[in-house]
């Protein structure tokens, strides 16, 4: 298999410790397109299921992965009841895959080792275009509202009181595939404040939103761009406390983690998986206990074409394209 290449044309140079060997970055200018490995005959911007039944996959064990967090073992417990429900609904054994990075999750999907997953907001377009990911749901509140905001945070007493104060200081991103952890804040800093990475401010890459929050609280980073839903759950778990950091910027609301499946699963199995998400009873579960902290209480239907339009716009503003072949 050829390595996955996520190409970006930036007006500045970004040096990242988070780039994994399977990702290469090059300067090109084009819109993000579906890999030639897939077809999209219905025009919904995601890979169609193969028409040749011999290409359908019907594994004895379904592998599920949730977007990388600071301690995957915590989320193995959070998802355990749901995965039991998924197993009962599909008749399959279900295994939780504790991924350590966005790149590992994406490559597992491309390699056929991952069948059901939750990809973070910024990684979803990569998974769709390069991995054949078919997102169909995300978490929402009881009233159907959903989403999170990108925040730029700093520790109390840092001397950073506004975004403009980041000039000459350090800002931690999470990973290049992250919307709130990289694309949205880097576009904001350049377009609205004329701050160029590694020219006007120093960059660091933490690998995850959790690491960025902890890095700011522990003063390893002067500031960081994060998804506030992650920070809210960390506060609820007692990992950090309110007042441990200051918020200097809050964005518009973005869609949250997209849940979906590999495009080549047997269609009958795919339908059972989707039904399992929508029939799941959250009440009294570890999933409810964890995600109620960020106001989420159900799975709602989504489409990549509609719900990820704003994310694609941000990617276009950053000159992102996907060279997957």
Domain boundaries, the chain: 5-145+256-323, 148-254
Give the pTM: 0.77
CA distances 209 to 61, 97, 166, 175, 182, Å, are: 30, 19, 19, 9, 10
Alpha helices (H) in the chain, listed in sequence order? 72-78, 80-90, 102-110, 123-131, 184-193, 209-217, 228-237, 267-279, 286-291, 304-307, 309-317
pLDDT at 213: 97
- Give the Cα separation of 231 and 269 in Å (integer): 35
* pLDDT of the residue at 70: 67
Place of tokens 């994994």: 20
Q: Are 186 and 133 in contact (CB under 8 A)?
A: no
Query: For residue 67, which of 94, 106, 35, 93 has the smallest C-alpha distance?
Result: 106
Give every CB contact of residue 267 below 8 A, 6+ residues apart in sequence.
49, 56
Q: Residue 6 belongs to what H/E stretch?
A: strand 5-8
What is the strand order of the sheet 93-96 is part of? 93-96, 61-66, 116-119, 258-262, 133-140, 298-301
Segments of the chain scoring below 70 in pLDDT: 1-32, 70
Q: Are 5-145+256-323 and 148-254 equal in CATH topology? A: yes
CATH of domain 148-254: 3.40.190.10
Which fold is adopted by the domain 5-145+256-323?
A: D-Maltodextrin-Binding Protein; domain 2 (3.40.190)
Taking alpha carbons only, the member of 287, 297, 295, 280 closest to residue 149 is 295
């Amino acid at each position: 298999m050829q390595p996955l290449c996520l190409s970006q044309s930036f007006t500045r140079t970004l040096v990242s410790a988070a780039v994994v060997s399977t990702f290469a970055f090059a300067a090109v200018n084009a819109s993000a397109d579906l890999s030639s490995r897939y077809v999209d005959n219905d025009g919904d911007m995601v890979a169609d299921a193969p028409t040749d039944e011999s290409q359908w996959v019907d594994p004895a064990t379904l592998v599920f992965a949730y977007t990388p967090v600071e301690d995957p073992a915590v989320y193995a417990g959070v998802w355990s009841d749901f995965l039991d429900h998924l197993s009962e609904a599909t008749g399959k054994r279900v295994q939780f895959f504790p991924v350590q990075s966005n790149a590992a999750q994406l490559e597992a999907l491309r390699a056929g080792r991952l069948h059901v997953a939750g990809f973070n907001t910024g990684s979803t377009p990569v998974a769709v275009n390069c991995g054949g990911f078919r997102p169909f749901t995300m978490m929402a509140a009881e009233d159907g509202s959903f989403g999170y905001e990108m925040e730029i945070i700093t520790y109390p007493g840092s001397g950073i009181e506004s975004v403009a104060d980041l000039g000459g200081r350090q800002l931690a991103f999470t990973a290049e595939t992250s919307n709130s952890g990289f694309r949205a804040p880097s576009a904001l800093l350049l377009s609205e404040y004329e701050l160029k990475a590694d020219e006007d401010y120093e960059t660091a890459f933490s690998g995850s939103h959790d690491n960025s929050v902890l890095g700011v609280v522990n003063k390893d980073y002067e500031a960081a761009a994060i998804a506030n839903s992650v920070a809210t759950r960390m506060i609820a778990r007692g990992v950090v406390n309110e007042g441990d950091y200051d918020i200097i910027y809050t964005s518009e609301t973005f869609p949250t983690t997209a849940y979906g499946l590999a495009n080549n699963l047997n269609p009958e199995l795919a339908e059972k998986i989707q039904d399992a998400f929508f029939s799941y009873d959250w009440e009294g579960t570890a999933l409810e206990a964890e995600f109620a902290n960020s106001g989420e209480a159900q799975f709602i239907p989504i489409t990549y074409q509609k719900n990820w339009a704003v994310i694609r716009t941000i990617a276009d503003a950053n000159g992102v394209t996907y060279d997957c072949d």
